[in-house]
Amino acid sequence: MKSLELDWLYKTNDIPIHYTEETNGGGSFFLLDYIDYFKEHYPNNKFNSALEWCAGPGFIGFGILSCDVCNHITFLETYDKAINLLEKTINNSSINNATIVHADNVKVLDGKYDLIVGNPPHFSEYQLMQKNAYYSNHSKENWERIAVDNNWDIHREFFTNIKDKITPDCLILLAENTRELPKITKVANECGFELKNSNLAKSTGMHVLAEYKYIL
Ligand SMILES: C[S@@+](CC[C@H](N)C(=O)[O-])C[C@H]1O[C@@H](n2cnc3c(N)ncnc32)[C@H](O)[C@@H]1O
């Protein structure tokens, strides 16, 4: 007997996005908050080159691409199974304005981005995340991969290395947990970024879209 492999489709305009339960870190919800944010704050902007950091199956990136928020999207992700799903979505829809970067964080990137979106791991420890009912269906191992950023190392590496890969007016808009936002912002500040705005993510009620700007 063959083993059963399931993947699901999340359709945004003309793009059916392939995903699995294991790779869905909440982006299927946050996409709606992102679209609201762009409508309210940047209704007439079309960004040239966008990056989805910690992309998973690319809900946010494919979603904004399908709404013409950007001309091109790059997906950065480290997990093999998510990379396979990103490739499947791109190949099945013959998308020619998306690039996949399979890497551990942003140091390897060589583009200049004017928009960065992403839903990175945003709890400093597993226990804090575990108390939260929203994250209850996943194995401990999978949620550590998806949700935990020990000592904020992933965020620190991002804010340290992204500086020379962004245009001066680059918009960085990250989905973060509301309770952890002050600690993440402290890391961002240490690296020269300021929090310009934070909007409640209506899809969950306990996250925000945090807009960071490079100030040095
Ligand atoms: C909260 S999940 C978000 C997944 C997807 N964007 C979503 O919203 O459903 C965080 C993602 O970051 C990826 N990740 C964790 N550390 C990473 C790193 N150092 N570099 C790139 N991706 C990373 C994980 O594999 C996971 O897919």
Tell me the pLDDT tens digit for each residue of 17-63. Answer: 999 989 999 999 999 999 999 999 999 999 999 999 999 999 999 99
CA-closest candidate to residue 170, choices 213, 208, 132, 117: 213
Q: Retrieve residue 5's tokens.
A: 């492999």
CA–centroid distance, 57 to ligand 1, in Å, is 9
In a domain, 10, yes or no: no
Kindly compute the dihedral angle of the four CA atoms of residues 184, 190, 194, 195, in this order, to the nearest 10 degrees: 10
Looking at the domain assignment, is residue 19 inside a domain?
A: no
| Cα distance between residue 101 and residue 108, in whole Å | 9
CA gap 31, 11 in Å, rounded = 12
The reported pLDDT for the residue numbered 25 is: 93
Report the residue among 31, 33, 52, 54 best suited for mutation to probe ligand 1: largest number of ligand atoms under 8 A from its CB.
54
Q: pLDDT tens digits for 58-97?
A: 999 999 999 999 999 999 999 999 999 999 999 999 999 9
3-state helix, strand, coil in the chain (%, to 5): 40, 30, 30
For 149, the domain range is 26-214
Distance CA 58, CA 40 (A): 22
Q: How many domains does the chain have?
A: 1
Residue 102 lies in a domain: yes
Both tokens of 147, joined, read 């949700």
The strand pair at 193-200 and 207-214 is best described as antiparallel
What residues does ligand 1 touch, defined as CB less than 6 Å away? Answer: 24-27, 30, 54-56, 59, 76-79, 82, 104-105, 119-121, 145-147, 154
SS3 20: coil
Is 16 part of a structural domain of the chain? no
Mean pLDDT, range 156-174, rounded to an integer: 97
Query: What's the pLDDT score for residue 135?
Result: 57
Cβ atoms 86, 55 nearer than 8 A: yes
Looking at the domain assignment, is residue 13 inside a domain?
Answer: no
Is-contact 149 183, C-beta < 8 A?
Answer: no
The DSSP element (H or E) to which 104 belongs, if any, is none
Asked if residue 190 is part of any domain, the answer here is: yes
Examine residue 4 and state whether it is found in any structural domain, yes or no: no
Q: What is the CATH number of the domain that holds 170?
A: 3.40.50.150
Residue 209 lies in a domain: yes
Measured CA to CA, the distance from residue 87 to residue 85 in angstroms comes to 5
Dihedral sign (CA 115, 105, 76, 79): negative
